[in-house]
Amino acid sequence: EMQLVESGGSLVQPGGSLRLSCAASGFAFKTYEMNWVRQAPGMGLEWVAYMTTSGTTIHYADSVKGRFTISRDNAKNLLYLQMNSLRAADTAVYYCARDRRAIDGAFDIWGQGTMVTVSS
């Protein structure tokens, strides 16, 4: 079964840092572009970051640029999101999502999400 499982979410104070992980299984992780998408409580979906297979191309939403860093370890089938200088507005469920760019670019596999709460 193709699967993504996020971890690392927790309660953190404003200005703090957190690293999220996304473990992939059941497919050739190294051959897929990957994304992070977040959803604030009761709100819609917001794309956060994108990374190509080898990491040569990375893009961020303006709302996180300069504070968040996406990375991956293809040998371990892991995707990461390092989040620094966290703000209350970053409170959300964070999903990793597989990007089917070789076919069309839709996000065809999603993890279950991990909750990040930024509060004092």
Q: Which two tokens stand for residue 60?
A: 């961020």
Q: Can residue 35 be called a binding residue for another protein (CB under 8 A)?
A: yes
Residue span 52-71 as binding mask against another protein, x where in contact by CB under 8 A, dash where not: -------x-xx---------
Distances (CA, A) of 116 to 76, 83, 94, 101: 24, 10, 7, 28
Q: Which residue has the tokens 């404003």?
A: 14
Positions in 74-113 near another protein (CB under 8 A) = 95, 100, 103-108, 110-113
- Pick one of 31, 41, 44, 75: the residue that binds another protein (CB under 8 A): 44
Per CB under 8 A, the list member of 46, 77, 84, 117 interacting with another protein is 46
32 binds another protein (CB under 8 A): no
Q: Are 116 and 83 in contact (CB under 8 A)?
A: yes
DSSP 79: E
